[in-house]
């Protein structure tokens, strides 16, 4: 019996570890896509030169260019158990600006912030610098929905332009792609008990 339990635990641990490694890191990679607007916002977030980073809560920078309308496209992701997210936008034509929101993005034509501050999580502070993708980091609760707003930097400037949006998820601020040992052990133990319970039921 003990040998059987040991084999089950090893098998379950190996399965969980491989699953964690296989799914870690990349949450979204759109590849090179052409801007396809899903709505209109009024103005855009002010580029203050400060990218959001883990460990620091960035205050909403304010809005510029309002109430002139700009087209936007949103992308929705779920972080599951990865609370540390890094968002990169490869934008060769410097046509866009992006920001992240918790649960939903709801622009409105009402000053002073036109809805761009509601549910705000962070932004890169600048558009793409010197040919390198812009990037920023946010920390979110477990099992959250995050909406990424990619909007035109200038009205009409996104038409026909391409970009690549990438979202990576990590378990800690040191870019760990493997869960903490305690979390892994608890998950493996739970799986072992469930398997053992099912085995006992079949024997009886």
pLDDT digits (tens, 9 = 90+) for 182-199: 454 444 454 444 444 454
The CATH number given to whatever domain includes residue 79 is 2.60.120.380
Number of domains in the chain: 2
At 75-99, the pLDDT tens digits run: 999 999 999 999 999 999 999 999 9
Is residue 122 located within the same domain as residue 146?
yes
Query: Token pair 């949103």 is at which residue?
Result: 74
Q: In this structure, are 35 and 18 located in the same domain?
A: no
Whether 83 and 143 map to the same domain: the answer is yes
Same domain, 7 and 66: no
Rounded distance between C-alpha atoms, residue 144 and residue 182, angstroms: 22
Structural domain boundaries, residue 131:
25-170
Distance CA 127, CA 51 (A): 10
Asked if residue 57 and residue 40 are part of one domain, the reply reads yes
In tens digits, the chain (204 residues) has pLDDT values of 544 444 444 344 444 434 444 345 999 999 999 999 999 999 999 999 999 999 999 999 999 999 999 999 999 999 999 999 999 999 999 999 999 999 999 999 999 999 999 999 999 999 887 678 999 999 999 999 999 999 999 999 999 999 999 999 999 999 987 776 545 444 445 444 444 445 455 555
Same domain, 83 and 107: yes
Residue 14 and residue 108 share a domain: no
Sequence-ordered list of residues with C-beta below 8 angstroms from that of 159, at least 6 positions apart, any chain? 35, 71
Q: What proportion of the chain, given as a percentage, has pLDDT over 70?
A: 75
45 and 64 together in one domain: yes
pLDDT at position 20? 42
Q: pLDDT at position 1, please?
A: 52
* Euclidean distance between CA atoms 127 and 70, whole angstroms: 16
Instruction: Assess whether 57 and 105 both reside in one domain.
Output: yes
Residue 75 DSSP one-character state = E
69, 33: one domain: yes
Q: Are residue 51 and residue 131 in the same domain, yes or no?
A: yes
Phi, psi of 118 (to 5 degrees): -75, 125
Same domain, 134 and 164: yes
């Amino acid at each position: 019996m003990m040998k059987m339990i040991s084999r089950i635990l090893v098998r379950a641990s190996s399965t969980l570890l491989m699953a964690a490694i296989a799914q870690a890191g990349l949450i979204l990679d759109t590849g090179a896509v052409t801007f396809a607007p899903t709505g209109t916002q009024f103005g855009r977030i002010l580029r203050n030169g400060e990218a959001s980073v883990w460990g620091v809560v960035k205050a909403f920078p304010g809005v510029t260019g309002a109430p002139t309308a700009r087209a936007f496209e949103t992308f929705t992701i779920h972080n599951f158990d990865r609370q540390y997210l890094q968002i990169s936008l490869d934008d060769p034509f410097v046509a866009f600006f992006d920001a992240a929101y918790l649960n939903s993005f709801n622009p409105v034509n009402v000053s002073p912030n036109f809805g761009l501050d509601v549910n705000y999580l962070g932004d890169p502070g600048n558009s793409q610098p010197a040919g390198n993708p812009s990037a920023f980091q946010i920390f979110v609760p477990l099992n959250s929905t995050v909406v990424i707003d990619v909007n035109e930097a200038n009205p009409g400037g996104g038409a026909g332009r391409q970009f690549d949006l990438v979202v990576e998820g990590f378990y800690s601020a040191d870019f760990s792609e493997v869960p903490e040992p305690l979390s892994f052990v608890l998950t493996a133990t739970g799986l072992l008990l469930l398997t053992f319970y099912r085995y006992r039921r079949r024997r009886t």
